[in-house]
Amino acid sequence: MQNAHRNLLKIVASALRQTFDAKGYAEAVLERTLKGDSKLGSRDRRFIAGHFYDMVRYWRRVLWLEERATGTVAKDHFMRVLLWVQKDGEYNLSNIPEAADLPSKEVLQGYLQEEMPLAVWESFPEWMDLWAKEELGAKWDTEMVALNVVAPTYLRVNSLRSTAAEVLEVLAMEGVEVKLVEGHPDALLMTTRENVIRLGSFRKGLYEVQDASSQLIAPFLEGEAGMGGVDACAGAGGKTLPLAAKMDNHGYITAMDVEGWKLGELQKRARRAGVSIVETQQIRNPKDIKNLYESADRLLLDAPCTGMGVLRRNPDAKWKLTAEHTDWVRNTQTEILEDYSMMLRPGGKMVYATCSIMPSENERQVENFLANNPEYILEEMHHTWPSEGWDGFFMARMRKG
């Protein structure tokens, strides 16, 4: 058994403090933390990142353990880290003065074997658990467990520049192991940890990092070469660029978003990918939408959502999301469907998509829209579920008569 290093435990505690007390985003907090100490070796970095994300993911379990072991929840992040490390028994803490009175590994594991609600064990806020149970019923228990499985990394091959088989060979020469994904012609699953952004193959625009489920949305829109399309919630172009590839870079796509800096990032990515048919337009007022009235053959609404389908990638999001924000999200989704759909011309197709698994953000939004807009016909709806090994996405394709 190796000794735990007090300074590393303190770094984990500091990162937790920045995330939970200062409301920082876990990914940014960890990146800043690791960059802030040049003396950290690769093993130290793995220790910090592993324990930090593990505790963020299972925060209610952390608090349960703290309360059972100390009789209180005192907001002592360093003590929480000590308890969390002690329970596994992989590290010797006898060299750390603050750990002198800790319960033994066996006692701590006994606390965790006591009966507790599944939402505590899997660590989801009580309000979120009640909401999801109401909407998903017994299926929520299965999805809750799946949302704590560490997500794999997928690449989306840029078909304008290469094929999945060719990129697989290129990456192998760069020392990166990936494998083809059945049913996803442009997807590669990374089987080794690697920061691909530093690689020459990435800089040449051969691929982007994108989950396999997210990759389904662009082809689901059924865009074709020569068409005119609008990606009305484009962000940094995660769906815009594969849509351009599906259109063989022929036609045009207007990529829109309320945040201009995201569109600036999209332009950079488009140049790297060799995409020339995308023009960007920031949405500053309703007139920007009205000016494109019935102009689009294809319209993508990758709507703002709660992100309930991708919590395995953003485990701190469940602690930042509030019930009040979910109301704002649903109202915004309704407004986007009603207002932005005017850009679709008769005979055109529209896809409404979210990275949520909640029916009130998905099927019910589509049902309400169709009830209020009978000229639209539902062609197909599709789900991907965390319990099936994917990020949770929803997409519905509608045709305007």
pLDDT tens-digit series, residues 56-78: 999 999 999 999 999 988 889 99
At how many degrees (to 10) do helices 42-57 and 77-88 cross? 100
pLDDT of 36 reads 86
Joined tokens for residue 370: 């169709």
Mean pLDDT to the nearest integer, 301-316: 97
pLDDT tens-digit series, residues 287-304: 999 999 999 999 999 999
Joined tokens for residue 289: 């939408």
Residue 102 has pLDDT above 90, yes or no: yes
Question: Are 126 and 144 a contacting pair, CB within 8 Å?
Answer: no
Mean pLDDT to the nearest integer, 194-219: 95
Can you say how many angstroms the Cα of residue 389 is from the centroid of all Cα atoms in its chain?
Answer: 14
Residue 27 has pLDDT above 90, yes or no: yes
Question: Are 275 and 249 a contacting pair, CB within 8 Å?
Answer: yes
DSSP bridge partners of 207 = 157
Mean pLDDT to the nearest integer, 196-221: 96
Give the rounded percent of residues in the chain with a pLDDT score beyond 90: 95
How far apart, in whole angstroms, are the C-alpha atoms of residue 233 and residue 302? 6
Q: Is 347 left (phi over 0), alpha (psi -120 to 50) or beta?
A: left
pLDDT of 390 reads 93
Q: How many CA atoms lie within 13 A of 395 on its CB side?
A: 23
Indicate the SS3 state at residue 51. helix
CA dihedral 291, 295, 299, 301 (to 10 degrees): 10
Mean pLDDT to the nearest integer, 120-128: 98
At how many degrees (to 10) do helices 6-16 and 42-57 cross? 40
Mean pLDDT to the nearest integer, 210-232: 97
* Residue 93, φ and ψ in degrees, nearest 5: -105, 10
pLDDT tens-digit series, residues 158-186: 999 999 999 999 999 999 999 999 889 99
398's CB contacts (< 8 A; 6+ apart) are 349, 350, 351, 352, 366, 369, 370, 376, 377, 378, 379
The overall average pLDDT reported for the chain is 96
Residue type, 293: Y
State the pTM of this model.
Answer: 0.94
How far apart, in whole angstroms, are the C-alpha atoms of residue 251 and residue 247? 7
- Domains of the chain plus CATH, in order, are 2-116 (1.10.940.10), 154-209 (3.30.70.1170), 214-400 (3.40.50.150)
Neighbours of 296 (CB within 10 A): 27
The total number of residues shown for the chain amounts to 401
pLDDT of 193 reads 85
Mean pLDDT to the nearest integer, 20-32: 95
Question: Are 240 and 305 a contacting pair, CB within 8 Å?
Answer: no
pLDDT band at 1 (very low <50, low <70, confident <90, very high): confident
Residue 86 has pLDDT above 90, yes or no: yes
Joined tokens for residue 176: 């990166």
Distances (CA, A) of 366 to 53, 375, 394: 35, 13, 11
Indicate the SS3 state at residue 278. strand
Give the rounded percent of residues in the chain with a pLDDT score beyond 70: 100
pLDDT of 272 reads 97
pLDDT of 364 reads 98
Joined tokens for residue 42: 């690769």
pLDDT tens-digit series, residues 138-165: 999 999 999 999 999 999 999 999 999 9
Sheet holding 296-302, edge to edge: 278-282, 252-257, 228-231, 296-302, 344-354, 393-400, 376-384
Mean pLDDT to the nearest integer, 299-319: 97
Q: Is the dihedral of CA 337, 240, 188, 269 positive or negative?
A: negative
Mean pLDDT to the nearest integer, 346-353: 98
Distances (CA, A) of 332 to 208, 305, 306, 328: 29, 9, 11, 6
DSSP bridge partners of 279 = 254
pLDDT of 183 reads 85
Distances (CA, A) of 344 to 232, 280, 323, 331: 11, 18, 33, 21
